[in-house]
Structure 1
Amino acid sequence: MNTSQPIYSATWQSPSNLAIVKYWGKKGQQQPINPSVSFSLSKAVTTTTVELILNDNRGTFSFYLNNEEKLSFRDKIQRFLNHLGHEIPFIQQYHLRINSSNTFPHSSGIASSASAMSALAFCLADLHQQVNPEEKISRQTISSWARIGSGSAARSVFGGWNLWGKLPEIPESSDFYAIQLTDKIHPLFQTIQDDILIVSGKRKSISSSAGHDLMHGHPYQQGRIKQAHNNTFLLLQYLENGDWEGFSNLAENEALSLHALMMSSNPAYTLMLPNSLALINKIKAFRQKSGLPVTFTLDAGPNIHLLYPREVKNKIKTWEEEELKPLCENETIICDHIGEGPRKIN
C-alpha cells in the first residue's frame, strides 16, 4: 500500500524554558544528577506536526525542519521513538512524517531540544489518544516521555515555573518528570521578562549531550550536586517572597557555575564568546549605576538572557537599544517573557 495521505495528524506548539538552577549531568535513562528550576517562555517556541501515514514504510519516519528534510536529527529522534515504542504501538504501524519549526535559532544554547522534544511528545500523546480514544495520557506521562528525548524537555510541558529532580523534602518531585510550581510564586516573578541577547545563532561547538557526559568523573561533580540542592531551596524561597536581589545573585551564580563546569571538564571547552562577557559587564555596570532590578543568566551557549520585572521594561528600553543591541549578532534581541505553556494548534 502506498499513499502519502495522513490517516491521523496532530500539531502542538511547545515553549523553550529557561533554567535558573541548572541541570548539568545525568544518570540512568536521562535522569538528572541534581534538581533544576525553570520557567517556560512565551515566544521562543517550537511548532511540530506529526502525521501518521499508512504505506509500505511502516515503522519508519521522516523529519523536516521548516519544511526541509534534516537527516542530522535522525539518530536522536530514532532513539526517542525506539524507547517509546512499547508504550506507543502505532509507531510501528505507520510511517511518521514530522515537521517542525522554531521561532529562534536551534542548537545555539536556547534549549531548542526542550521545546522540540516536548512538542513531539505532545503530538505523540495526541495521536495515541486519536488511535485509542479510551486512553488518556497525563501531563506527567508526557513530561516523562519528553525527558527521554531531552532532559530539559521534561520542564517544557508546563507553563510558569517548574521543578525537575527528586528532592526528599518535596514528596511529589521526581527524577522522571517535572512538576509545576503553581503555588507560592510572588507576583514579581509571575511577569518576569527574558530578553534573549543573541551573541551567536550558530550551532554550538560542543553539544549539551556531550557536556552532560563530561560530568562523569568531573572533579567538582559532588560539589555541584550540593550547590544545586542548596540553590533550589533558596530559589523557592526567593520566588515565594519576591526577593529580587536574592534571585539575581543566585541566577548569575548558577549561570557562571555552569560555564565554570565546562571550562574545568576534561577536555575543557568554552561556549561563551567575547561579546558574552562584554554584555555581562554592561548589565552589571548599568545595575550598579541605575539601581534597577536587572540580572542575567546563560544556558549552555554564548547567548545572554537579560531578566527583569515587567514594571521596569520602559525604563531600560533606551539603555538596551543603545548599549546592548550593538553587541548582539545582527543586533538581534528576542524579547520574551514567562509563558502559559504548550498548546494544541487546530
Structure 2
Amino acid sequence: MTEQDFISKTSSKHIESGSVTWDSPSNIALVKYWGKKENQIPANPSISFTLSGCKTTTTVSFSKKESYQEYAFDVFLDGDLKESFKPKIETFFNRINNYLPFLKNYYFKIDTVNTFPHSSGIASSASGMSALALCLMSIEKMLNPDITEEYFNKKSSFLARLGSGSACRSIEGDLVVWGLHNKIKDSSDLFGIKYPYKVHENFKNYQDAILLVDKGEKQVSSSVGHGLMHNHPFAEQRFEQAHHNLSSLIDVLKVGDLEAFINIVESEALTLHAMMMTSMPYFILMKPNTLEIINKIWAFRKETGSKICFTLDAGANVHVLYPEVECEQVVEFIKNELVAHCQNGQYICDQIGFGAKKIV
C-alpha cells in the first residue's frame, strides 16, 4: 500500500457528536529502530513484543463546530487539563489532516489515562499516540462504515506512526514488524504488521518485568536522539546490523533458540545506547543502577542457567525478559536482588499482549 491509499473518501454521512474509547498497549522493541527519515520513515526495520498491562486508555469525545478554519481540542491526563500536550497533538493533526479531513469539523475532548508513570521510559508516546489514532479511525469508520478491519488496522498504524514512530507497533500483537525488510513478507516503512511467520512455543506468553530505575523526564528526548543519527559516524553500520539481526531472529523465533534470542536482544539494547554515546552531541541515558541491574542479570544467568535477559529503550529503565516457565524463579530474583536498584522499589510485571482493544 502507498500513502495515497490512506486518503479518505468524502463522506456523505453527517454526525453531530459522539464518543469512542480505546485501550492501546506499549511495546518493547527487540530489534531497535534508531534514526528516521522525513515523515517518520524509519532508517531501519524493527520488531517488538506488544505488552499487555502497560497501556493507555483514551476517550475522544467530539462535537460539530461552526468554524472549520482551525483545530479545536483539549487534552486531559488523569483528569487534569494538559496545555503542554497541545503542541504535540497539533503537530500530529497537521501531519494527518490529509488522511482525516474531518479533523477541523469537530471540537475534540481527549481524555487519557496510563497504567504506568508518564515519561517513565515505558514508551507512553507509543501507547498514547496509537490509542488516539485508533479513536480517530473509529470516528472515520462512523463516517465511512464500509472500512474493512484490515484497512482499519493498517491505517491506524499508519496514522499512529505520524504521531510517534514506535506507536505504529502498538495496534496489533503479539509480535509486530515495522520497516521494510527483504525477508519479511508485506513489511512496510508506512505501518507495522503482525509478524507473519512461525513462532516457537518458547516465546508464547513471554514475560517482561519493567524495572523503574528513573521515573523522571529524560534529559534528551527520543526525537532529538533520532535526529542525531543523520550525521552519526556509525549510522550505516548500525542500519546494516539491524537488518542482519532481524534476519537472524526469523530462524531464532522459529526454532525457539533462547540463547541466540538473548544474544540478539541484549546486543541490540547495548548498541542503541552506544549510538547515543557516540553521537555529537553525545549523551548517556543509563544510570548507575541500570548497570548494576545488567551485571546482576548476567551473574544470575551464569549461576542458574536461566534464560532471563534484558533490553532497554531510550532511557534508564530495564526491561527484564524471560520465558513464562521461569516466572517463579525470576520474580524471586527481582524481589531479592533487583528491586533495591529501582526508584522507590518500583517495578511492573507485564507480559506479551495481543494489541489494542476498543472499549466503547
Tell me whether the two structures share a fold, i.e. TM-score over 0.5.
yes
Residues 65 and 105 in structure 2, CA contact (< 8 A), matched pair in contact too: no
1:42 pairs with 2:52: yes
Distance, in Å, in 2 between the alignment partners of 1:51 and 1:321 is 42
Question: Which residue of structure 1 aligns with residue 201 of structure 2?
Answer: 187
What is the aligned partner in structure 2 of residue 33 from structure 1? 43
Q: 1:119-154: CA deviations, max 9, x gaps?
A: 011000001111333444521111111100011111
Q: Are the aligned partners of 1:57 and 1:95 in contact in 2 as well (CA < 8 Å)?
A: no
Partners of 1:135 and 1:90 in 2: how far apart?
Answer: 16
Q: What's the offset of the Cα at 1:73?
A: 1.7
Cα deviations by residue, 1:249-284 (Å, 9 ceiling, x for unpaired)? 111100000001001111000100010000001100
Q: Match for 1:155 among 141, 146, 169?
A: 169
Q: CA deviation at 1:89?
A: 2.0
- Once the two structures are TM-superposed, the CA of residue 200 in structure 1 deviates from its matched residue by 0.9
Q: Identify the match of residue 125 of structure 2 among 103, 110, 113.
A: 113
Q: Which moved more, 1:54-63 or 1:17-26?
A: 54-63
Q: Which runs of 5+ in 2 are unaligned?
A: 1-15
Aligned-partner Cα distance in 2 for 1:333–1:167: 34
* C-alpha distance in structure 1 between counterparts of 2:234 and 2:309, whole Å: 26
| 1:278 alignment partner in structure 2 | 292
Give the letter aligned to residue 40 of structure 1: T
Instruction: Work out the CA distance in 2 between the residues paired with 1:157 and 1:148.
Output: 14
RMSD between aligned residues: 1.3
Aligned to 1:14: 24
Measure how far apart 1:182 and its partner are: 4.3
TM-score, with length taken from structure 1:
0.96
Partner residue in 2 for 1:210: 224
Alpha-carbon separation, structure 2, partners of 1:307 and 1:42: 14
TM normalised by structure 2 equals 0.92
Secondary structure of the corresponding residue to residue 185 of structure 1: coil
Distance apart, 1:57 and its partner CA:
6.6
Distance in 2, matches of 1:87 and 1:304, equals 37
Detail structure 1 runs of 4+ shifted over 6 Å in the superposition.
none
Could you tell me which residue of structure 2 aligns to residue 290 of structure 1?
304
1:56 deviates by 5.1
Secondary structure of residue in 2 paired with 1:110:
coil
Look up the SS of the partner of 1:9 in the other structure.
strand
Kept in 1, the 8 Å contact 2:25–2:54? The answer is yes
Q: Which residue of 2 aligns with 1:101?
A: 113
Q: Does 1:87 align with 2:87?
A: no
1:72 Cα deviation after fit: 1.8
Three-state SS of the structure 1 residue aligned to 2:301 is helix
CA distance in structure 1 between the partners assigned to 2:66 and 2:76 by the alignment: 20
Amino acid of the structure 2 residue aligned with 1:73: F
CA pair 275-94 structure 1, distance change in 2 beyond 3 A? same
- The alignment covers a number of residue pairs equal to 341
* Higher alpha-carbon deviation: 188-197 or 107-116: 107-116
Any conservation in 2 of the 1:105–1:202 contact (CA below 8 Å)?
no
Q: Is residue 183–residue 247 contact of structure 2 (8 Å, CA) maintained in 1?
A: no
SS for the counterpart of 2:184 is coil
* Same amino acid, percent of matched pairs: 47
Alpha-carbon offset, residue 168 of structure 1:
2.5
Q: How does 1:327-346 map to 2 (within 5 A)?
A: 327-346=341-360
